[in-house]
Structure 1
Amino acid sequence: MARINHSKVEELLDAIRKGNVSPVYLLYGDEFLYKSVFKAITDCLIPRSDRVLNYEVIEGHSENVHDTIEELNTFPMIPARKVVAVRESRIFVSKKDAGAILTRSLTAFDEKKYRKAALDFLQALALTGWSLEDVTGGAWRNISDSEWRKRFGFDRDSEKLGWIDDVVRYALDHDVCLPSVEDDSLILEELLKKGLPAKNILVLTTSFVDKRRTLFKTIEKIGTVIDCSIPSGTGKADRKRQFDLFRLKTEAILKKQGKSMDHAALSALLDRTGYDLRRFAGELEKLIDYAGKRKKITALDVGKVSERTREDPLYELGNLIGKKDATESIAVLHNLLENDCHPLQILASIATHVRKLILARDFVHNDSGRTWNPGMRYPAFQSIVCPEIKKRAADGFMAKSHPFVLYNTFLQAEKFELAELLHAISFLVNADSDLKTSPRSPVIVLEQVILRICKGRKDRKMP
């Protein structure tokens, strides 16, 4: 039927309200953007009163095309529309994504989302063509380095990959099965070409698509494809579309909080974050907290609070590591190296951030740290904890930093045990030696540092 831009979603909703409904909707692009579009479309397609019987949500990490097809072929329980929604669908995933999915598995493991970690790991394994037996009982260590690099796109390091044994054990103990490697896209495409029952509708969301795939072309022909990507051009027209999009999103978010932001403040924030909605939304949330009871957020607030993610990617890297976000950290690392940032400069920046986290964690472990509560909001931190910090720290980072910078450092430090951070110092020392004396690739050395710090303790076990 059509491919439309997310900016036309209101027109699409009007069409749905008038009964002009597609059998399938595909939303792709920016996650923050397509999630809001997804909610608007599903709310319009099916009322809350019909959702108990006529609404089925399938999460991508547990997606099985045969289950999806069964749901799509089943007639509604009540005489009304039936919606089958697959969120974060993996229907477009290919072998080239194995490395990224393996890294995502590590991130889930660090967040103690063990089932998701196992599902992601087995998905990556299936894409490589290996079986569960190939990795069980530490057998993955017998895979050659060259073969590992060929399948996943990065070098294997047994020390940083020890978590795999825990994930494999979890998969075996909880009957998490290796997903099928058959071309699911062709199976779904065949069903869509045949046609769904009259009132059944499929809604798919995904972070990426390959527009050359026949499934994409089929959906575009018989359904509605909604492009939720953000313009990436640098021309005047693209810049205006980018700014207008972020202005509208900002107004919608701030309206719920009873706040506003003027043009200068929005421009200042975009100058620091770039046109990344998820990152922008995170910074905007910090500004809302910082403003407290004030109704208006100013450019001065942005200057004091917002992370300088666009102008200072080294600062961004430190904060991502502090959040244990290995995937995004490595992406920023690659960007830094591509822009000729020296590996030793990157390592020094990481070391500086780790030392800040150690100082925050050490403060919490002492008597003065009793004033700190991980759940406290910024105003409480500023009035209760900051005076204690000033009493204890006469100079250095703790005394000189802006209270909001300290607040975020304390929040990040909560993700680590003090022992983990002290252990990270040894990683950094070894990496410094490797960068100065070893023939090893600086990319590999720095990636290993990031993964080891984000992973945490070696002895961490799952229940």
Structure 2
Amino acid sequence: MAKDTGPSYDDLATAFRHQNFEPLYFFFGEETFLIDELQELLIDEALDPSQHDFNLDVVYGSETEASEVIGLCQGFPAGAPKRVVVVREFEKLENNRQFKDYAAQPNPQAIVLLACTSKPNLSAHPYRALKEHATWSEFESPYDNEMPGWIQDYVQGQGYEIKPKAVQMLADYVGTDLQRAASEIEKLITFAGDATRLTADDVLAASGQTREFNVFELQSALGEGRPADAQRIVDRILQQASNPRSEAIMMVAVLNGYFDKLWKLQKPGALRENKYDLAGYIGVSPYFVEEYKHAAQRYDRSAIADAYSALVAADYELKGGASREASLVMTLLLRRLLPPDARPVAA
């Protein structure tokens, strides 16, 4: 049975754009970026900017208490059809249990959005009452395989097109962080200038890397068992970086996502599936499936587990756990990330 998480982001956004508002919304979950986006859209669609002074209140639960907020919610609009009240950090609002009664009888002349930064105890009031009476939705972090589609849709929503390779590079680069993805897309649009189609070269330009020396070519060099090329790419990236340690941390994060995909391909029978099913399963464009399949055949579960261990250790060192130079940390890391048949033979 599918998990009930309430209306989707797209459903809510469409309703807001069509001026279809409910008197009370209750949003919660880990993916606060989507909640932020809906909050801004709600305010933009419900109120003219000239109406903000008297009809918009955005408050934080950690800075106020329930009776004061309920007073705002029960107020009447001034020169506007509705007033809007947004309560961020609702879970931190002192005495928020008072919203149990408000949930049953919300002010029809207000649009109230209550937003939690995590998932609260939905079996306790006021959350139980809000789930029963309000329009509620839970926003969970996306899965890796959902990110390419999200990136594609977000770029199109900005009025641009994006090439499949650029989508994959972005997805590998940002992981499942929607806020970071949106920021990188905005950066790409700036780099693109007058162009309306974003390309892989744009992704590289925005990241300060080059077509030959970048973390995505590093992935390929590792998966194909080319140690000299992998080392040369890492050296050049670090030489060109204004902050080599931060650049190394980024490479470790992207490589962790790469090995996540190879791990998924270790599932019995996975490599025999068609490329479209595999693309959805590991979260890449069908165009790149063969590259991942070939790499997966050079690793076994033990080798990938060792790669994970090495990546965790490198991340710890680079984030202050040790004083070794970033270049040395990465050199030692590469030796453990190569496929077993491409690793140097110990003397």
Tell me which residue corresponds to 2:331: none
Q: In structure 2, do the counterparts of structure 1 residues 53 and 320 end up closer, same or farther at CA, with 3 Å as the change threshold?
A: farther
Among 172, 175, 179, which residue is 1:271 paired with?
A: 172
CA contact 2:7–2:137 (8 Å) conserved in 1: yes
Q: Compared with structure 1, are the counterparts of its residues 82 and 346 closer, same or farther at alpha carbon in structure 2 (3 Å cutoff)?
A: closer
What letter corresponds to residue 180 of structure 2 in structure 1? R
Matched, 1:74 2:43: no
CA-CA distance at 1:6 after TM superposition: 0.6
Equivalent residue number for residue 133 of structure 2? 222
Q: 1:80 to 1:317 in 2, by over 3 A?
A: farther
Correspondence for 1:349: 318
Match of 1:83 in 2: 84
2:212 aligned with 1:212, yes or no? Answer: no
Where does residue 45 of structure 1 map in the other structure? Answer: 46
1:321/1:28 CA distance change after superposition, 3 Å:
farther
Residue 187 of structure 1, CA deviation: 1.8
1:282 corresponds to which residue?
A: 183
Q: Which amino acid aligns with 1:251?
A: Q
In structure 2, do the counterparts of structure 1 residues 242 and 293 end up closer, same or farther at CA, with 3 Å as the change threshold? closer
2:106 equivalent to 1:196: yes
Rounded to whole Å, the distance in 1 between the matches of 2:169 and 2:249 is 24
Residues of 2 paired with 1:322 and 1:242: CA distance? 21
**Identity across aligned pairs (percent)?**
18
Question: Distance between the aligned counterparts of 2:306 and 2:127, measured in 1?
Answer: 35
SS in structure 2 opposite 1:340?
helix
Shift of 1:185: 3.0
Distance 2:75 2:122 in 1: 30
Corresponding position of 1:245: 150
d(CA) in 2 for partners of 1:338 and 1:210?
36
Q: Give the aligned partner of residue 13 of structure 1.
A: 16
Which residue identity lines up with residue 81 of structure 1 in the other structure? K
Shift of 1:317: 11
Partner-residue secondary structure (3-state), 1:3: coil
Q: Distance in 1 between matches of 2:18 and 2:73?
A: 22
1:262-341 → structure 2 map (5 Å cutoff) = 262-292=163-193, 294-303=195-204, 305-306=206-207, 318-319=245-246, 339-341=308-310
CA shift, 1:68, in A, is 0.5
Q: Is 1:337–1:343's contact at 8 Å kept on the other side of the alignment?
A: no
Give structure 1 stretches of 5+ with no counterpart. 94-179, 329-335, 358-396, 398-463
Greater shift, 348-357 or 214-223, is seen at: 348-357
Preserved contact between residue 27 and residue 114 of structure 2 (Cα < 8 Å)? yes
CA distance in 2, matches of 1:294, 1:15: 31
For residues 25 and 317 of structure 1, the distance between their equivalents in structure 2, rounded to whole angstroms, comes to 45
**CA–CA distance in 2 between the matches of 1:24 and 1:317?**
48
Partners of 2:64 and 2:215 lie apart in 1 by: 38
1:266: Cα distance to partner? 0.9
After superposition, what is the alpha-carbon deviation per residue over 1:275-304, rounded to whole angstroms, capped at 9, x for unaligned?
A: 321121233344344445655432234346
Pairing of 1:350-429 with structure 2 (within 5 A): 350=319
Equivalent-residue separation in structure 2 for 1:50 and 1:284 (angstroms)? 31
Letter in 1 for 2:11: K
Where does residue 151 of structure 1 map in the other structure? none
Cα–Cα, structure 1 residues 57 and 218, in superposed 2: closer, same or farther, change >3 Å? same
The residue number in structure 2 matching 1:92 is: 91
In the aligned structure 2, how far is the partner of 1:225 from the partner of 1:290?
Answer: 38
Give the partner amino acid of 2:111: I
What is the CA–CA distance in structure 1 between the aligned matches of 2:122 and 2:307, rounded to whole Å?
Answer: 29
Q: Are 2:96 and 1:185 aligned?
A: yes
- Asked if 1 retains the 8 angstrom alpha-carbon contact of 2:32 and 2:117, the reply is yes
Evaluate the alpha carbon distance shift between residue 302 and residue 209 of structure 1 in structure 2; reply closer, same or farther with a 3 A threshold: same
Structure 2 distance, partners of 1:231, 1:7, is 14
1:73 Cα deviation from its structure 2 partner: 2.7
**TM-score scaled to structure 1, two decimals?**
0.43
> 1:317-347 CA distances to partner (integer Å, 9 max, x unpaired)?
9539999xxxx9xxxxxxx999434776445
Describe the superposition over 1:191-238 as per-residue Cα deviations: whole angstroms up to 9, x where unpaired.
323x23331231123332225243333223222113443443x7xxxx
User: 1:11/1:252 Cα in 2 relative to 1: closer, same or farther (>3 Å)?
Assistant: closer
Q: Which protein, 1 or 2, shows the higher relative CO under an 8 Å CA cutoff with sep ≥ 6?
A: 1
2:118 aligned partner, one-letter code = F
Contact kept in structure 1, 2:27 and 2:116, CA below 8 Å: yes
Query: What's the RMSD between the two structures over aligned residues?
Result: 4.4
* CA–CA separation in structure 1 for the residues paired with 2:156 and 2:75: 41
Check the 8 A contact 1:83/1:201 in 2, yes or no: yes
Deviation at 1:55, TM superposition (A): 1.7
Residue 420 (structure 1) aligns with: none
- TM-score w.r.t. the length of structure 2 is 0.55
Question: What's the CA shift string for 1:338-382, capped at 9, x where partnerless?
Answer: 94347764454346999999xxxxxxxxxxxxxxxxxxxxxxxxx
The aligned length equals: 241
Shift in Å at residue 4 of structure 1? 0.5
> What does residue range 443-458 of structure 1 map to in structure 2 within 5 Å?
none
C-alpha distance 54-268 of structure 1, shift in aligned 2 (>3 A): same
